[in-house]
Amino acid sequence: MATPEDARRANRSLLLRTLHRNGPVSRADLAKVTGLTRATVSAVVRDLMDDEVVEELGLSTAGGVGKPATLVDVAADGRHVLCLDLSEPARFVGAIVNLAGKVVVRRTYDRKDRTGRSAVTLVRRIGRELVADAERPLLGIGVASPGIVDADGVVVTAAHLGWTGVPLGAELAAEFGLPVAVVNDANAAALAELTFGAEPARNLICVRVDEGVGAGLVLDGRLFAGSTYATGEIGHVVVVPDGDVCACGKRGCLETEVSAPLLAGRLQADAGDGTAVLQRAGEHLGTALATVLSALDVADVVLSGSGAVATDTFRAAAAGAIAARAMPVLGDRLVVRAATFGFDDVLVGAAARVLDLELGIR
Ligand SMILES: [Zn+2]
């Protein structure tokens, strides 16, 4: 049952997302766009201003009768968020992100072959260096990790980092004395679209291709967590029954056909222009996605990742494979697009998660 606290969280979330999309706007226009009463809008805006995440700007200069209205918007630099992206094969990325989803500072750190504790040590060092560089009060720390992450910020398993049951959230919170959100990388990419994306995203799937393949799901305007925080773990769905042996022991998993290092290698070895390699990989991804999209009636697909994944050829092949396997009712609406924030989407999504937590949104 919805409690008054649930309603408060939902209203804060709704207003903040509306401001990210439409701001700056007047309180009256916020009421119009969201369907909330003017009194509710005023109360929630005051609440968000107390948290220094929303600010009043000048008066509206738009014409019209009556006195000009005060405009409000996200206080982009009221607070900053320290973010880490641990999803790339060879490096960690650390950043300071503002509340409008803009990366203010970015640093990359060669991971070399660090795994286990050594990788955690590097994460903490990046945190210390960025805290020292922060020019605004920090709202919190957002970490996007590959693998399965639970609601308490424990990385349950991240094979490529050699992590099992690593309480990363608690460890960073203890060291830095800041709220910490740890989120799966694909979920972070999905949250970036949900929170800061240009289009209102009620339902979408964000497929992240890096060292592995994962997906983040937004359903009915919320990130979907699933039963065991393993939503979107599509990398080990078999797409080629007699294919290559996968790290998991099976043959022909999606990850044996589509992953960033593997595709980079195949493109390098390709005698042609790489088109066939990209088409084959895109088709395998589309094949794996067709059933998921059909079952959920989701037609908005965002591809996140660099290299092969960011090419038009790969996107078109994935779209073609989905459309060929799904009902026209889905295929006709299907959009397969690049991430709104390009290569920063995972970082920006980690910031979105911190914003959610601090606003009390689950
Ligand atoms: Zn596998």
Spacing, Cα 161 to ligand 1 middle (Å): 16
Supply the mean pLDDT for the chain: 91
User: What are the C-alpha distances in Å from 309 to residues 84, 152, 267?
Assistant: 21, 31, 12
CA triple 42-194-228, angle to 5 deg: 115
Query: 296 near 262, Cβ under 8 Å?
Result: no
Is the pLDDT score of 65 beyond 80? no
More confident residue, 358 or 163: 163
d(CA 89, CA 86): 8
Q: Smallest Cα–Cα separation from 224: which of 186, 251, 197?
A: 186
pLDDT at 163: 96
Spacing, Cα 119 to ligand 1 middle (Å): 23
Spacing, Cα 243 to ligand 1 middle (Å): 11
User: What are the C-alpha distances in Å from 62 to residues 26, 28, 41, 74, 155?
Assistant: 11, 14, 21, 20, 50
Is the pLDDT score of 266 beyond 80? yes
- Encode pLDDT of 14-37 as tens digits: 898 888 888 899 999 999 999 999
Q: Smallest Cα–Cα separation from 49: which of 71, 22, 82, 34?
A: 71
Spacing, Cα 235 to ligand 1 middle (Å): 7
More confident residue, 212 or 298: 298
Query: 351 near 140, Cβ under 8 Å?
Result: no
Q: What residues flank ion ligand 1 with Cβ within 5 A?
A: 236, 246, 248, 250, 253
Spacing, Cα 262 to ligand 1 middle (Å): 14
126: confidence class by pLDDT, cuts 50, 70, 90 = very high
Spacing, Cα 249 to ligand 1 middle (Å): 6
Is the pLDDT score of 362 beyond 60? no
